[in-house]
Amino acid sequence: MTSTNIAGSFKLMKSLNRTLILNIIRKDGPISRAEIAKIAKLTPPTVTNIVHELLEAQLVKESEMGVSTGGRKPILLTINAESFYVIGLDVGIHKIRAVAADLNAVIKNEQVVTIQKGIGKEELIQLLIKQVNEMMQNTNLSKDKIIGIGVGMHGVVDSKEGVALYAPNFGLKNIPIKDRLEEVFQLPVKVENDAKVLALGEKWFGYGINIQNMVCLNVGIGIGAGIIIDDKLFNGKNGIAGEIGHTAIDLNGPKCSCGNYGCLQALSSGDAIREHMLKEINLGRKTKVVELVQGELEMIEGKIIHEAAILGDELAREVLTKSGRYLGVGIANLINVMNPDLVVISGGVSKAGHYILDPIKEVVADRVLNEEAKKTNVLQSKLGDHGTAIGAITLVLADLFIPEFLNE
């Protein structure tokens, strides 16, 4: 090994150890230097030196004194959460949600802007730039206090290049989000599919903490899934892992936006729920939904159907139950194939709560093979409307805290 390679190896090891220690403090803090050394399997002097660097960089701070085991009380370390910030962008189909959060993903500011119909590629990029600029100004953040920008984007994303390959609801292809934002802000930018960042956010800050294998479904206008295997986001060979919305549930079902028939998305998404309700109304079924929209049927959406269900409307409950049962079939298939520890449901449709979750759980209990797997937890997201934005933030935090990301 040449002297250059040796120097490079030592530099990498130092970076890996630094990130390893930082992540231990994040997960287990307040924690002493001695405990860090035990967990990290590093020598106390190595830990002391790296902690000194982290203190100087203001990434960690000393907090209260720990319990003595015979000598002096140890000084405990925690993440200095408000020393730096991350900006997260949730680029949905109708709106962009921008947030600024600290290193614990605590949101300090947020803003939501509507995306105009027919938006072009350059217009979208300029809108993203504008949201970041406004978030920095409104939160009074200088650039040296921001460690990066994360973007959760609907559609197919090349996460390595940071390019939105196809945003179907915008009809746009090959949007160079990473390059353009990095050019303007001179900050690291991470871009990933919205369902995948949802899974990351839920893994780090929701119900997925300490869960190694989980699936997070984003059920809204479309349906996608983020898959976590062995604590890592699974992308698949071509980056399309998790496109559960385009798995066939009923070969004789309605046509999907992808061109196939009977996809889960065509049967159970927010649009599918709306179409099912309109079909039943046109067949003469009575429902409180018509009253709630004052006869303007084009105003019907999932939120209204849920409201009618709460009011006891039989048809609204029937429509939501049917959607939940189809989702249950898709989730049962996932459990039989992957056997995850946890399934989390997020997105607009998940807001229907038990009207969706109860039929999902019934179908899972019927269709999953193993008795223990039948008990797989299926939960409504803990992060709610902020799930994708927090997930986008997590993309950046993962680079800071997880050693494996340094090897990608």
Token pair listed for 222: 């479309």
Rounded Cα–Cα distance for residues 331 and 343 (Å):
8
Residue finishing a domain among 82, 104, 120: 82
Q: Does pLDDT of 73 surpass 70?
A: yes
pLDDT band at residue 233, thresholds of 50, 70 and 90?
confident
Residue finishing a domain among 55, 82, 109: 82
The burial class, CB within 10 Å (0-12 / 13-18 / 19+), for 64 is exposed
Q: Does pLDDT of 37 surpass 50?
A: yes
pLDDT band at residue 50, thresholds of 50, 70 and 90?
very high
Q: Are strands 163-167 and 156-158 parallel, antiparallel or unpaired?
A: antiparallel
Pair (240, 186) in one structural domain: no
Give a yes or no: residue 393 inside a domain.
Answer: no
| Average pLDDT of the residues in 327-336 | 94
Q: Does pLDDT of 302 surpass 50?
A: yes
Q: Are 145 and 99 in contact (CB under 8 A)?
A: no
* Domain ranges, residue 78: 3-82
Which pLDDT does position 29 carry in this prediction?
85
Give a yes or no: residue 232 inside a domain.
Answer: yes
Which pLDDT does position 6 carry in this prediction?
45
Q: Does pLDDT of 11 surpass 90?
A: no
Which pLDDT does position 403 carry in this prediction?
47
Pick 408 or 387 by higher pLDDT: 387
Give a yes or no: residue 276 inside a domain.
Answer: yes
Report the amino acid identity of residue 200.
Answer: L
pLDDT band at residue 221, thresholds of 50, 70 and 90?
confident
Pair (191, 273) in one structural domain: no
Token pair listed for 88: 């997260």
Pair (186, 253) in one structural domain: no
Q: At what angle are helices 314-338 and 354-367 packed, to 10 degrees? A: 40
The CB density around residue 324, as the number of other CB atoms within 10 Å, is 25
Pair (22, 76) in one structural domain: yes
Which candidate, 212, 214, 160, places its Cα nearest to that of 189?
A: 160
Pair (133, 262) in one structural domain: no
Give a yes or no: residue 400 inside a domain.
Answer: no
Which 3 state secondary structure label does DSSP give 288?
helix
The pTM assigned to this predicted structure is 0.87
Q: Give, as one character, the DSSP assignment of residue 31.
A: B
Which pLDDT does position 93 carry in this prediction?
85
Q: Does pLDDT of 169 surpass 70?
A: yes
Q: Are 202 and 344 in contact (CB under 8 A)?
A: yes
Give a yes or no: residue 167 inside a domain.
Answer: yes
Pair (299, 349) in one structural domain: yes
Pair (345, 214) in one structural domain: yes
Q: Does pLDDT of 66 surpass 70?
A: no
Give percent of the chain with pLDDT exceeding 70.
93
Which pLDDT does position 407 carry in this prediction?
38
Give a yes or no: residue 404 inside a domain.
Answer: no
**Mean pLDDT in the chain?**
89
Backbone CA torsion sign across 179, 181, 186, 192:
negative
Q: DSSP string spanning 209-273?
A: TT-SSEEEEEESSSEEEEEEETTEEE--TTS-TT-GGGSBS-TTSPBPTTS-BSBHHHHHSHHHH
Q: Are 359 and 324 in contact (CB under 8 A)?
A: yes
Condensed to tens digits (0 to 9), the pLDDT of residues 89-126 reads 999 888 999 999 999 999 999 999 999 988 999 999 99
Pair (92, 78) in one structural domain: no
- Torsion-angle region of 343 (φ positive above 0: left; ψ -120 to 50: alpha; else: beta): beta
CATH of the domain at 17: 1.10.10.10
Token pair listed for 51: 């902690």
Pick 23 or 70 by higher pLDDT: 23
CATH of the domain at 324: 3.30.420.40
Which pLDDT does position 405 carry in this prediction?
43
Which 3 state secondary structure label does DSSP give 286?
coil
Pair (101, 158) in one structural domain: yes
Give a yes or no: residue 395 inside a domain.
Answer: no
Q: Does pLDDT of 7 surpass 50?
A: no
C-alpha distances in Å from residue 251, one per residue of 212, 260, 262, 270, 324:
34, 9, 5, 20, 18
Indicate the range of 13-22, 72-81, 204-213 predicted with least confidence.
Answer: 13-22
Give a yes or no: residue 104 inside a domain.
Answer: yes
| Average pLDDT of the residues in 297-322 | 93
pLDDT band at residue 51, thresholds of 50, 70 and 90?
very high
Pair (63, 169) in one structural domain: no
Residue finishing a domain among 179, 202, 225: 202
Pair (245, 367) in one structural domain: yes
Per the structure, the count of domains in the chain is 3
Pair (348, 252) in one structural domain: yes
C-alpha distances in Å from residue 137, one per residue of 127, 131, 177:
15, 10, 21
| Average pLDDT of the residues in 132-160 | 92
**Distance spanning both ends of the chain, measured CA to CA:** 23
